Amino acid sequence: MAEIEKNNFNPEVSRYISMAIREVEVDWQEINTEPVSLEQATKDARDKHYAFFKALGLPALP
C-alpha cells in the first residue's frame, strides 16, 4: 500500500510489474553439435542392426 500511495494511487500496472520480456540465451555450439551426435547414434544403431542381419545370414538393407 505504501508503494501505491507513493505513486499517487496510480493504477497503471506497468508501475508495479515489469513488462519486459527476457530473451532466451541460445547455446549455438550445443545446437551445432546435436546433428553430429544424432548422426553418430544413427550410424551406431544401423551397424548394430546390420550385425544382427549378418548373424542371421541375411544381407544388409540398402
22: cell is: 527476457
Q: Does 56 score more than 80 pLDDT?
A: yes
State how far the Cα of 37 lies from the Cα of 32, in Å rounded to an integer.
10
50 burial level (CB within 10 Å; 0-12, 13-18, 19+): middle
Tell whether pTM > 0.85. Answer: no
Domain locations in the chain? 27-62
- Looking at every residue in the chain, the average pLDDT score rounds to 84
